[in-house]
Amino acid sequence: MTAIPAAPPTPRSWTGPLMVLAGGVGIGFAPIGLRFGLDELGPQAIAFWRYVFALPLLLALVFVIERRAPRLPNRFILLAGTFFTLDIALWHHALTLTTVSNATFIVNLGNVLVGFGAWFFLKQRPHAFWFVAAALAILGAAALSLGGGADGKGNLHGDLFAVAAAFLVSGYMLCSNIARRSIGGIEAIFWLTLVEIIVAGCIVLATGETFLPQSLAGFKVPIFLALVSQIAGQALIVTGLGRTSAAVAGLLVLVQPVVAAAVSWRLFGESLTGLQAMGGVVILFAVWLAQRGRKPRVAVD
């Protein structure tokens, strides 16, 4: 397989990593919103409407920021949008088959795989700090996800769905990183969202979920997710990927399970165990450590 030439981000820029980190915080609210919306809509339908409500706002932002209509997308945008939507679908399905802790831990490993994928496919060899940060992130994710005790019975099939979702996460991050080399951030997220609407609509039809909620109040959660997780979350991540190496970005978005755990603690009274709290601290330290060597080196063949 021919490697895609690497295009290192601007070394002096700190705005890209900050955008990715802030986007990870926004994405962290996605499982919270999902819990509130399941009384009215199925998980796949919630994702579908999240994309639908975000699209017109993103189109308006394209015209405001770029002062023109969005340019046609490249093939990596189409791949990234498909990977992301299938990741969400498989992740939700895994949650119905295996324990929440197993599925959460396995899917979060996909963010670590991004660094190895970038090294193999893009010839972006991460800094030595990244490998230490990645190991710490895995330990922290394990403590955060598995440290709460048993939450059900594990299932091999469910775990395999989570593994597939993890690979899709890394594929989404890598393709988004490549796509951003030839298209602006706001345009990229617009086209990603359009692809996600199409794929998510097909998934809703395939799963037999209903598209419409029982009442108009059922649209509150998708609108919230459109604003917080899609526009303020995914859009910031995709925009930041144009100025951040894929390896570092993969670790930065690991802030999302920490945010989800912290918000669940406050909203649902789900107190964290000592092991989980330590896991969150370790993840945050890994995120900080990854920044110490955020400028990637290009591997020599």
Of residues 300, 239, 240, 298, the one with CA closest to residue 6: 298
2 pLDDT more than 60: no
Question: Average pLDDT, stretch 43-50?
Answer: 92
206 pLDDT more than 90: yes
Lowest pLDDT segment from 57-61, 88-92, 161-165: 88-92
User: What DSSP designation does 297 have?
Assistant: E
Other C-beta atoms within 10 Å of 10: how many? 12
Q: What is the pTM of this model?
A: 0.79
Question: Average pLDDT, stretch 43-68?
Answer: 93
Predicted local distance difference test score (pLDDT) of residue 26: 87
203 pLDDT more than 90: yes
Of residues 67, 22, 73, 30, the one with CA closest to residue 50: 30
Lowest pLDDT segment from 79-83, 141-145, 147-151, 159-163: 147-151
State the chain's mean pLDDT as an integer. Answer: 81
* Residue of 233 and 243 predicted with greater confidence: 233
Q: What angle do CA 207, 173, 107 make, to 5 degrees?
A: 55
101 pLDDT more than 70: no
**How far, in Å, CA of 166 to CA of 104, rounded?**
10
Cα separations (Å) of 205 from 52, 118, 198, 211? 16, 34, 11, 9
Domain ranges of the chain: 29-295
Predicted local distance difference test score (pLDDT) of residue 59: 95
135 token code pair: 């190991």
User: What DSSP designation does 216 have?
Assistant: G
32 pLDDT more than 90: no
- Report the first-to-last Cα separation within the chain, whole angstroms: 13
